[in-house]
Amino acid sequence: MVTGSIVFDRIMDFSGSFKDHILPEKIHMLNVAFVINTLKESFGGTAGNIAYGLSLLEERPILLGVVGRDFDIYAKWLEKNNIDISKIKKDETTTTASAYITTDENNNQITAFHPGPTDVRYCEIIRDIKDIELAIVSPDFKGRMVRFAEIFKELKIPYIFDPGQQITSFTKSELEFLINNSKVLIGNDYEIDLIQKIMGIQKGALENMVEVLIVTKGAAGSVLIKKGEVMKIMPAKIDKIVDPTGAGDAYRSGLIKGLIEGWDWEKIGKLASLVSAQAVMKQGTQNHFFNYKDLSI
């Protein structure tokens, strides 16, 4: 079961570097514009991207989320890719969430995000779904993320917690609850450091709160930490970085696939890295394609 945002992405490329146009001494009164080279609209959102990756890995995930009246074109794409959207709720009074993502020449990103519908009562739909083996709580409207986790805990459904861009919206106590009750905590190195800062703890304490802590490091690979044991996963080889957007979500789809298969953590990490590499070689978050049987894990 994949919970999180279902979003229309507007992806833009800036040929320069953000740092060359932001004056540190003027950060308190920031007023800057970036002239972009390309603008492309695509299907995205953490949940949508993860579900797409799982479909490439020959899984049929249940996708949960609340969308707007403009969702029909995205729905057709998801159904075409064998993703179960029967439990998604459509709110005709508003539009689907939208992300405006600008990437500079150093692969740094600035994102503006409109969350779309904010219905939290929708989360109760989980109670009507049987035989849930694994779930992921990925970035979405904060209220839904918390409520999903509460219900997963109540129903004893193991879940991966992936707070991502929503980290700063959580209080210390909310993060403690969400992490303590998760099976796996995943984030990039910046996000993990931010979690530690908000909670006022060291990484060692964070590791003890979950079965596995996964720290992704972009081109440097990733690190899986399980009860003090550190496993370094090297990045998969790629021909050319085209667009890093969605690479983390692709990594998570590989992680989920490996957990479903019951693999050891090293093999899971290698698959996640391979799937992530496929994503960065294509523009957008759901434009990559591969044959799962051809992957050499």
CA-to-CA dists, residue 81 to 74, 221, 259, angstroms: 11, 28, 21
* Phi, psi of 236, deg, nearest 5: -75, 150
Mean pLDDT (whole number) for 170-195: 97
Q: Which residue, 49, 108, 28, 26, is CA-closest to 284?
A: 49
The separation between the first and the last C-alpha atoms of the chain, rounded to the nearest angstrom, is: 24
Residue 112: per-residue pLDDT = 86
Domain edges within the chain:
2-287
Alpha carbons 251 and 46: distance in angstroms, whole number: 11
Say which CATH class 2-287 falls into: alpha beta
- Which pLDDT score, from 0 to 100, does residue 26 have? 84
Within 5-96, strands assigned E span 7-13, 38-44, 63-64, 66-68, 89-91
Cα separation of 266 and 258, whole Å?
10
Least trusted range by pLDDT, from 121-125, 168-172, 244-248:
244-248
pLDDT of residue 30: 87
Place of tokens 């093999």: 267
Of 21-25, 260-264, 289-293, where does the model show the most confidence? 260-264
pLDDT at 174 over 90: yes
Q: Residue 239 pLDDT > 80, yes or no? A: yes
pLDDT of 210 above 90: yes
Residue 254 pLDDT class (50, 70, 90 cuts): very high
Average model confidence (pLDDT) for the chain? 94
Q: What's residue 96's pLDDT? A: 96
Residue 203 has pLDDT above 80, yes or no: no
**Under 8 Å between Cβ of 291 and 252:** no
* Residue type at 144 in one-letter notation: R
Q: Is the pLDDT of residue 245 over 90?
A: no
pLDDT in tens, 138-168: 999 999 999 999 999 999 999 999 999 899 9
Amino acid 40: pLDDT: 83
Query: pLDDT per residue over 31-89, tens digit each?
Result: 999 999 988 888 999 999 999 999 999 999 999 999 999 999 999 999 999 999 999 99
Highest mean pLDDT among 90-104, 173-187, 240-254: 173-187
**What percent of the chain is predicted at pLDDT more than 70?**
100
Q: Is residue 281 within a helix (H) or strand (E), and if so which, with residue range?
A: none
Please state the pTM of the whole predicted model. 0.88
Q: In which band, very low, low, confident or very high, does the pLDDT at 92 lie, cut at 50, 70 and 90?
A: very high
For residues 114-136, give the mean pLDDT. Answer: 95
Which pLDDT belongs to residue 297? Answer: 78
Between 48-57, 109-118, 128-137, 221-230, the lowest mean confidence (pLDDT) is in: 109-118
Q: Are 178 and 145 in contact (CB under 8 A)?
A: yes
Higher pLDDT, 227 or 216: 216
Instruction: Note the pLDDT of residue 198.
Output: 97
Q: How far apart are CA 275 and CA 240, in angstroms?
A: 15
The pLDDT value recorded for residue 293 is 84
* Distance from C-alpha of 230 to C-alpha of 253, rounded to nearest angstrom: 21
Residue type, 86: S
| Element at 296 (helix H, strand E) | none
